[in-house]
Amino acid sequence: MDETLSNPFARFADWLRAAEASEPNDPNAMILATATPAGRPAARAVLLRFWDESGFVFYTNLESRKSVEIAANQSVALLFYWKTLHRQIRIEGTASAVSDDQADAYFAGRPRGSQLGAWASAQSRPLESRAVFEAGLAETEARFEGATVPRPPFWSGWRVEPAYFEFWQDQKYRLHDRDTFTRDGAGWTVAKLYP
């Protein structure tokens, strides 16, 4: 039996490989949707940095709007959209913090400029001007000159553990294929949706 018919992670791997071969930029880009405790939604693009059957991981400033919203309401949604393939995958699940060891390992492998930027950026907060940010970045570069840049205590990752997948494939006349996988104990219930 084709595992992509019964295992959403196998299908995700198959579709991501196809996207990596066809998408001109960032095939690992995903839209992350969060909501405040009052239900006000927000969405933005983030990059998938790791995934396995325990979930989908991205990294960010823990004081950013997305992190503040996740800390208050762990229910999130992800959307991968690959225009060249006419495909999208919707994922709904629960976000939780990655371990410090995992965040440290990922941060250590980032380009130095990205490491310094993580320290210099008060992500999502008001910025008086680009010059203010650039001055802060220069101060950060001087602070860590000749030294390893450690992971900031306010920077880490989130893992989204999926409870639901929808795989959408464009078809002629908008008669699309839509397959869903809904968590059912240790397994998945597979279904189709009308276009």
Contact 164, 91 (CB under 8 A): yes
d(CA 11, CA 2): 10
Residue 31 exposed, middle or buried by CB count within 10 Å (0-12, 13-18, 19+):
middle
Q: Given the residues 44, 90, 143, 174, select the one marked as catalytic.
A: 174
Residue with tokens 């066809």: 22
The 8-class DSSP code of residue 71 comes to H
Task: Please state, in angstroms and as integers, the Cα–Cα distance from residue 188 to each residue in 117, 180, 182, 185, following that order.
Answer: 41, 9, 5, 8
Query: What is the maximal distance between C-alpha atoms in the chain?
Result: 60
d(CA 139, CA 116): 10
For this structure, is 17 an active site residue? no
Active site residues per annotation: 174
